[in-house]
Amino acid sequence: MKKVILRTLVLAPLLFLASCGDNQEDAAKAIAPTAADIELAANLLPTDPLLAAKYDRSCRNCHAQVDAAAPLTGHQAAWATRFDAKGADGLLASTKMGLKAMPAMGLCNDCSDAELTALTAFMAGRKD
């Protein structure tokens, strides 16, 4: 009985850590931006001039900089995990309320819900 308890106490945390580490590392590798992703993010703009202006003054500062820890504009793999987890409505709610280092409304206080949704879709590579 002592052996079973000892094995459980020793092995359970190791198995937990091993499984978490592998999944997190694999997920991070799968969504890590490449040099091409970084260059794309630096150059993309919505084709709509009004959205382009709002993107340029509100979103670009973080979503075109790899060091900002925000998903890069056009980096579809990084955005796909967010859309899968929250959907468009959940992402809109996160944008409006703020999330981690992102301030409420993504610093676009004059953006409508439709514009925030369009900007998110653009950054995710789901629409132009």
pLDDT tens, 62-73? Answer: 999 999 989 999
CB atoms within 10 A of CB 6: 10
Structure tokens at 73: 């504009």
For residues 40 and 42, give the distance between their C-alpha atoms in angstroms, rounded to a whole number: 5
71, 122 contact by CB (below 8 A): no
Longest Cα separation, the chain: 71
Average of per-residue pLDDT values in the chain: 83
The pLDDT value recorded for residue 112 is 98
For residues 80 and 8, give the distance between their C-alpha atoms in angstroms, rounded to a whole number: 37
For residues 117 and 59, give the distance between their C-alpha atoms in angstroms, rounded to a whole number: 13
The pLDDT value recorded for residue 128 is 65
41, 73 contact by CB (below 8 A): yes
Architecture of domain 34-123: Orthogonal Bundle (1.10)
76, 125 contact by CB (below 8 A): yes
- Give residue 30's pLDDT band: very low, low, confident or very high (50, 70, 90): low
Say yes or no to pLDDT of 122 above 80.
yes
What is the average pLDDT across 33-43?
96
> Which residue ranges make up each domain of the chain?
1-31, 34-123
Say yes or no to pLDDT of 107 above 80.
yes
